[in-house]
Chains A and B, each alone.
Chain A
Amino acid sequence: MRVWYLLLALMAPNAMAAWEVNMRQGVTEISHAVYDLHMTIFWVCVAIGVVVFGVMFYSIYHHRKSRGAVSDDFHESTKLEIVWTAIPFAILVVMAIPATQVLVQMYDASDSDIDIKVMGYQWKWSYEYLGQDLGNGENLAYFSNLATPRQEVYNESEKNPNYLLEVDEPLVIPANKKVRFLISANDVIHAFWVPDFAVKKDAIPGFINEAWTNVPEPGIYRGQCAELCGEAHGYMPIVVKVVPEDEYVAWVENKRQQVAAARGITPTVASK
């Protein structure tokens, strides 16, 4: 069955998102910068490849014994060695400049508008909104679990398009705000990865790592744990719901009440 689908897809490659061959550009300024770096280094490699493989295939074609080629004897040239050490070196120095700039930007998590603590567990994530008091000094926090039913995993029912990339409670953040993630783990190492934000940071027990994003467009963005963390490593997705700011404020308030009520805490009035 799938084989036919595969053949079909081969015939109409553009119609199938599944034949995607390149990195996604993502939705943030950083993810675009990363994508540009990726494309730059890719084209640098292609250019070097064309030259190197070009010379190689030229020799393979022209300098073959069956075409009567007689071998030369040259086998040393300090000049050449210097040239092909210096040129790649120069290319890399040039490449290092934009890479450094983007890295510096990615590392600058200062002046955030919102701080969220992300904890990895075997095998789920928890999100804690710092400063959103439930009324007893604890912050608003909840777990986010895989929502895909077992029947889909065991092929007993049709898989939905978000198969393995869906959760019961997504992480909710506002658009156009600098959101800082403070990332750690409770048991083993996990990694928090949202490709569309170009955010990937390991969640390590005993450490708090920082990452940040600022998403201009509301939407739903999906990622997965990116560090082997045991049996259900493939089953702890990340779903981020980005909403306009007013909606976010309302959501936080509502969620605060809801979580507090569920835990029998009397919630305080909206903090800000």
Chain B
Amino acid sequence: MSAVIDTHGHEDHGPKRGFMRWVTTTNHKDIGAMYLWFSLAMFFVGGLFALIIRSELFQPGLQIVEPEFFNQMTTMHGLIMVFGAVMPAFVGLANWLIPVMIGGPDMALPRLNNWSFWLLPFSFTILLSTMFMEGGGPNYGWTFYAPLSTSYAPPSVTFFIFAMHLMGVSSILGSINIIATIFNMRAPGMTLMKMPMFVWSWLITSYLLVAVIPVLAGVITMMLMDINFGTSFFDAAGGGDPVLFQHVFWFFGHPEVYIMILPAFGIVSHIIPAFARKPLFGYSSMVYATSSIAFLSFIVWAHHMFTVGIPLVGELFFMYATMLIAVPTGVKVFNWITTMFRGSMTFETPMLFALAFVVLFTIGGFSGLMLAIAPADFQYHDTYFVVAHFHYVLVPGAIFAIFAAMYYWLPKMTGNMYPEWLGKLHFWLSFVGMNLTFFPMHFIGLAGMPRRIPDYNMQFADFNMVASVGAFAFGFTQLLFLAIVIITIRGGKKAEAKSWEGAEGLEWSLPSPAPYHTFATPPEVK
């Protein structure tokens, strides 16, 4: 990360000094590091909001916040975690890693890269500032269903729309850059079917982003028109259609959830082979499975809308398609497990996070499969069961994969090994805290507790209390992660070029820390 500061002067030119280095940089490692730091900051902001939610839900009755503020917290937590924490973290890893993995000197469009990043702090400053505006910030859920988010929204909604547009521009530019990089900057001999899985997964993710972020932009623009220019896309009183909002939103929204998991699949496909000391099982099948998931993710959106009253045939179509998407997802899990089989495994922190990923993501997949059964979804929908589902795929899924990646590549970024025992401590505390928080949510959901409510009947009290205790444990554990990153940047055991015995790939042919500029002359890939 920022330890690349130490490496100046060994090449023809190093980074500028001081603040302007970060403002004007076009270096993919600098920009990657900024994305990662930004994501970590947002992770703490979103986490703070989550802890406010869990404090209120610790007991029945209203104790800490009022329902209106509670709704702002659930909304902002979701928006910040999805768009501010998970997505930028993956983009940061892509920036840092893709050029070194494919043997290219930098991203294909370095200035665009700088702009993509710098849109984000502005976007999220605007988003967070809405909470201090008259009427408060977004309180309509991260899915912002109209007309709650249009005719009935607080006036700050226009700022929310603007913030989302900026974020969307950043994502689109970032993904165009990744596509351009992967197609143009590969070292000679690096054919598509030789590319590392992380690169493959990001190539596919970028196409998803380019396809669906404009749809998001479309839907928020329609909101903007409804709110400020007198149209009635979503206003029934003016002949509009509130359900149209949901179709357009989820046409973006479902691929979006895969945008948050495909790069994680890529990361885990590096780490498991490295610590099992055995090549990834079924490389080409992994590529095809990821592509099929991406394709299918465009035709399942209405599984989020099973209760809106779509016609029977529509309901059946989306149920079957959703069940189908579990097949390639299963194939990926089977491939990872077969990679472990007859390997020679060790369990350093990245591997622990990757193994937990496989188990807990699969549990999230199972609840996904249950949710896919439309008649059963009538009971699950909009309850804590759904909350349990998506936190299982996102926390030990996306976020554990990000942690795994950080521990795995931190030696390459900083030149130092992190303290292994602290990493393991971070893992175990996160593992326990996360399960304590989210597993009971399956139970309260099945027992009938709706999501997004600040208060509940006593029949849900016990498991809510457990979940709140777990949330605090998980939340405070993450300060340990921050400490570990800082400790590792500042010193520690020197990392070797190939920091892990079983690590494979071009990035490990570079010294640790990787120099400011790498692969100015492309390596030869056999």
Known: A60-B355, A64-B345. A195 touches B448 (CB 8 A): yes
Q: How far is the CB of A272 from chain B (nearest CB, A)?
A: 30
Interface-facing stretch out of A77-85, A124-132, A241-249, A250-258: A77-85
B370 touching A45, Cβ below 8 Å? yes
Closest CB in chain A relative to B321 CB, distance in Å: 11
For residue B260, give the distance in angstroms from its CB to the closest CB of chain A. 21
A48 within 8 A of B: yes
- B446 touches A (CB below 8 Å): yes
B355 and A234 contact, CB distance less than 8 A: no
Q: Which of B340, B369, B378 contacts A41 (CB 8 A)?
A: B369
**Given A59-B343, A159-B61, A162-B457, also A84-B462 (CB < 8 A):** no
In the assembled complex, which residues on chain B have CB atoms less than 8 Å from the CB atom of A104? Answer: 312
Interface residues on B, range: 35 or more
Residue of B whose beta carbon sits closest to that of A194:
B448
B122 / chain A contacts, CB cutoff of 8 Å: none
- B366 and A52 within 8 A (CB): no
Measured in the bound complex, the distance between the Cα atoms of B346 and A96 in whole Å is 41
Q: Which of B320, B453, B458, B461 contacts A233 (CB 8 A)?
A: B453
Query: Which of B63, B312, B327 has a CB less than 8 Å from the CB of A89?
Result: B327
CA distance A201 to B381 in the complex (A): 10
A188 touches which one: B147, B309, B359 (CB < 8 A)? B147
Q: Which residue of A lies closest to B245 (CB)?
A: A189
Q: Does A38 contact B (CB under 8 A)?
A: yes
Q: Is the interface of B mostly helix, strand, loop or mixed?
A: helix
Is B71 part of the contact surface with A, judged by Cβ < 8 Å? yes
Q: Which of B63, B323, B443 has the most CB of A within 10 A?
A: B323
Q: Which of B235-294 contact A (CB under 8 A)?
A: 236-237, 240-243, 276-285
**Contact status B378-A69, CB under 8 Å:** no
By the criterion CB–CB under 8 Å, are B337 and A234 in contact?
no
B366, A204: Cβ atoms under 8 Å?
A: no
8 A Cβ contacts from B372-410 to A = 373-376, 378-379, 381-383
Report the Cα distance A127→B104, complex, angstroms: 66
Q: Which residue of A lies closest to B466 (CB)?
A: A6
B342 interface residue (CB < 8 Å to A): yes
B104-155 contacts to A, CB under 8 A, are 139-141, 145, 147-148, 152
Evaluate contact between B346 and A207: CB separation under 8 angstroms: no
Q: Is B87 an interface residue (CB 8 A)?
A: no
Kindly list chain B residues whose C-beta atoms are within 8 Å of the C-beta of A269: none
Q: How many residues on A have C-beta within 8 angstroms of the other chain's C-beta atoms?
A: 98
Find residues 350-380 in chain B having any chain A CB closer than 8 Å to their own CB.
355, 358-359, 362-363, 366, 369-370, 373-376, 378-379
- B330 interface contact, C-beta 8 A: yes
For residue B478, CB closer than 8 A to chain A, the reply is: no
Q: What separation, in Å, do the CA atoms of A36 and B160 have in the docked complex?
A: 43
Contact A188–B148 (Cβ < 8 Å): yes
Which residue of B282, B320, B369, B456 contacts A164 across the interface (Cβ within 8 Å)? B456
Residues of chain B lying within 8 A (CB to CB) of residue A164: 60, 455-457
Cα-based distance from A162 to B458 in the complex (angstroms): 8
Most chain A CB atoms below 10 A, which of B63, B147, B148, B328: B148
CB pair B448 A52 closer than 8 Å: no
Give the complex CA separation of A31 and B326 in angstroms. Answer: 26
A70 within 8 A of B: yes
Q: How far is the CB of B510 from chain A (nearest CB, A)?
A: 25
- Residues A81 and B345 in contact, CB atoms below 8 Å apart: no
Show the binding face of A for B, using Cβ within 8 Å: 2, 6, 9, 16-24, 33-34, 37-38, 41-42, 44-45, 48-49, 52-53, 55-56, 59-60, 63-66, 69-77, 80-81, 84-85, 88-89, 92, 95-96, 99-100, 102-104, 106-107, 122, 152-155, 159, 161-165, 187-189, 191, 193, 195, 198-202, 204-207, 209-210, 223-235
Given contacts A45-B370, A191-B382, 11 further A-B contacts (CB under 8 A): A44-B369, A63-B341, A63-B344, A64-B347, A65-B346, A66-B346, A89-B327, A103-B316, A188-B152, A228-B71, A234-B452
Which 10 interchain pairs have the tightest Cβ spacing?
A: A206-B236, A234-B453, A45-B366, A209-B309, A72-B342, A71-B344, A75-B279, A205-B236, A226-B382, A71-B277
